[in-house]
Structure 1
Amino acid sequence: MKALYIAATGMKAQELNVEVISNNVANMRTTGYKRQRADFQDLLYENQRRMGTQTSEVGTILPNGVQIGSGVYAAATTRIMSQGTMSETGKSLDIAIRGEGFFQIQQPDGSSAYTRDGSFNRSQDGTLVNNNGYIVQPAINIPDDVRDITINNEGQVQAITPGGAVVNLGQIELARFANKAGLEAVGDNLFLESEASGPAQVGAPGVDGTGDLLQGFIEAANVDAVTELSDLIAAQRAYEMNSKIVKAADEMYSTTTNMR
C-alpha cells in the first residue's frame, strides 16, 4: 500500500510550507525583506496501464490509463520581489528605492552583496555604511563639518559647508538583475549574485529601470499578514488531511494483518 508513503510526502511538504510562512511572519518588520512562497511539484508516476496503448487487434486505443502518483516534493521557495510600502523616518541617511534596483554593499572580504535595506549611517571616519558597518558602494565620505545632507532621486549626495557652499559628496549607484528572484539570500538583509540571477548591471538611479531614491524613507517588508494567515490555515488543513490518510492506511494495514 503506497498511500502511507504518499501521505508522508504531503505532510513533509506542508511542514516546509509552514516553515516558509513562519519566516515571512517573523520578518514582517524587517526593512526591505521580500517574502517567500513554497512551490511544489508532483513526484513520478507508476503506469499500470499506459494511455494510448493498443487494446485490440483492430487498433482500438486505450483512452485513459492507470497512473499512480508517488506524492509531492518541494520544487522551490520562490522569493516575491514586489515593492514594499514606503515608511517615512525623517532621518537624512535613510534611503528607499522605488523600482528594481539594489544598493551595493562591500563585505569584509571585499566581495559585493546587494540589499534593499537603505537604513544607512556614518562610520567613525564619515564613510556611509549599513547597520553592520559594511561600506556602501561606491564609497561616500561625509565630513564632520557639513550640514543639511541631501540625496536626490538620482542618487547625488550633497551637503552644505560651514561657509554656506554646496558640495557634492558622491553618487549612489544601484544594481539590477535579469532575474532578481534568483539572488541568494545570506542573512543580514543581504543577497549575493548567482548564476540564476545573472550578473549585476550597475547604473545611476532612474536609468535603465533601476528605480529612483527617496531620502528620509525606508522600504517596509512586502509581507501581508492576512495573506500569510490564510496560507497558514490552508497549510494546516492540508497537513491534517494527509495525517488522516496515514491513519486510514494504518487501519487498513491492521485489518489485513488481523485477517483470519
Structure 2
Amino acid sequence: MNRGFYSAAAGLLTGQKAVNVLANNVSNVNTAGFKNQSTIQSSFSEYLIARLSDSNKIASPDIGTGAYMTVNSAQFSDFTQGSIEETGRSVDVAIQGEGFFLVQSDTDGEVLTRNGQFEVNENGNLILPGVGRVLNSNKQPITLTGSDFTLSSNGRIIQNGAEKDALYIATVANKNELTQVGNGFFQSPNGFQQAATGVYSLIQGSIEKSNTDMTTEMSQIISRQNNFQSCSQVLKIMDRISEISANQVGKVG
C-alpha cells in the first residue's frame, strides 16, 4: 500500500487530537485554576525508539526506510501561575506560588487542584462543588459552622475568634508526572507532600483564573484545522489515484 496513505491518516489523527485539546482549553477559559493543555508530537520512528529503549547503545535512529508519520506521544500541562481575580467571597481562595489544594473526589479519590471556588454544604463541609470535600492538614474533611471565617496566608482557618482548621497545600517533586483526571484536577503517581511554609501564599476572597490565552488558542485552532483539511484532501487525492490505477491503468482493449 502507498505509504502516503499512512502519513496523511496520521496527520488527520494527530490534528484531530490537537484540535480537541485546544477546544477544551477554550471551553475552560473561565474555569478557576485550569491549566492550559497541549499535545506533544513526534515522528513514529522517534516514538518507537523511545518505547524500545532508553539506552543509546540499543536504540538507533536508523530503523529502516518508511514514512515518518507523526503521533501524539504525550500531553503537556502548563503549570504557570494564572492571574488572580478578586471575588469578595470568603469561601474563594487563590494560591499565589507553588502548591495545590487537596480534595477528596467523589469519583477519583484524592485529587490536586488550583481551583479554589469552594462552598460550605448543608453538613458544614467545605467542598468544591461537583468534585468533593476539601481536606485539612491531616487529610480529613474540613467542617465549619458557616461561610463566615478568616483564612491566613498559610492556610489556617479562623472562625469565631479561634483557629478551626487548616488547609492542606500539596506539592509534588515533578509536576510533569501528574496525571490529569479532569479539567484542572490531577493525581500524582509518585505521591505528594505538604508544602513548606514560604513557597505559597493563600489569598482569601480571590480565585486564580485559567492561564489559557484565548488569542493563542484560537490562532492554533485555525492552523490545526487548515492542516487537518490539507491532510484530508491529500487522502482523497491518493484514494482517487489508487482507484484510477486499479481500474484504468493497464486496461486491455
TM-score interval, smaller chain: 0.7 to 0.9
In 2 relative to 1, CA 124–3 (structure 1 residues): closer, same or farther, beyond 3 Å? same
Q: Quick one: which of 226, 229, 235 aligns to 1:237?
A: 226
The answer as to 2:103 corresponding to 1:105 is yes
Amino acid at match of 2:216: T
* Runs of at least 5 residues in structure 1 that lack an aligned partner in the other structure: 46-65
Q: Is 2:196 aligned against 1:201?
A: no
In structure 2, the partner of 1:53 is none
Cα distance change of structure 1 residues 245 and 134 upon mapping to structure 2, 3 Å threshold:
closer
Conserved 8 A contact 1:115-1:189: yes
Distance in 2 (CA, whole Å) between partners of 1:106 and 1:120 is 13
* Identity in percent: 29
| CA deviation after TM superposition for structure 1 residue 142, in Å | 2.5
Q: Report how far residue 132 of structure 1 moved.
A: 3.4
Q: Deviation digits for residues 72-92 of structure 1, max 9, x if unmatched?
A: 111012111121111111001
Q: Which runs of 5+ in 2 are unaligned?
A: 47-63
* Inter-partner Cα distance in structure 2 for 1:134 and 1:3: 49
Cα distance, 1:255 vs. partner?
Answer: 4.5
2: CA distance, partners of 1:227 / 1:109:
33
For residue 112 of structure 2, what is the aligned residue in structure 1? 114
Q: 1:34 to 1:6 in 2, by over 3 A?
A: same
Question: Per-residue deviation at 1:203?
Answer: 3.1
Cα pair 1:157 1:172 within 8 Å, conserved: yes
Structure 1 residues 111 and 254, CA gap change in structure 2 (3 angstroms): closer
**Pair member with larger Rg:** 1
How many angstroms apart in 1 are the aligned matches of 2:124 and 2:169? 21
> Aligned letter for 2:175?
K
Change (3 A) 1:75 1:188: closer
TM-aligned CA distance change 1:28 to 1:182, over 3 Å: same
Q: 1:219 to 1:158 in 2, by over 3 A?
A: same
Q: Report what 1:178 is aligned to.
A: 173
* 8 A Cα contact 1:123 1:133, kept in partner: no
Q: Which amino acid aligns with 2:143?
A: N
Q: Per-residue deviation at 1:189?
A: 4.4
Cα distance change, pair 188–28 in 1 and its aligned pair in 2 (3 A)? closer
The residue number in structure 2 matching 1:90 is 88
* Equivalent position amino acid for 1:201 in 2: Q
Q: CA deviation at 1:7?
A: 0.8
Question: How many aligned residue pairs are there?
Answer: 227
Going from structure 1 to structure 2, the CA distance change for 1:254 and 1:136 (only over 3 Å counts) comes to closer
Task: Give, in angstroms, the shift of residue 253 of structure 1.
Answer: 2.4
CA drift of 1:256 comes to: 3.0
Structure 1 residue aligned with 2:27: 26
2:54 corresponds in structure 1 to none
**Aligned twin of 1:41:** 42
1:180-239 deviation per Cα after TM superposition (whole angstroms, max 9, x unaligned): 233222237432222xxx2101135x44x3x21111001111111111111111101211
Scaled by the length of structure 1, the TM-score of the pair is 0.78
Give the match for residue 55 of structure 1.
none
Q: CA deviation at 1:106?
A: 2.1
Q: TM-score, normalised by structure 2?
A: 0.80
Partner residue in 1 for 2:59: none
Where is the helix percentage greater, Structure 1 or Structure 2?
2
Shift of 1:133: 7.0
What displacement does 1:44 show?
3.0
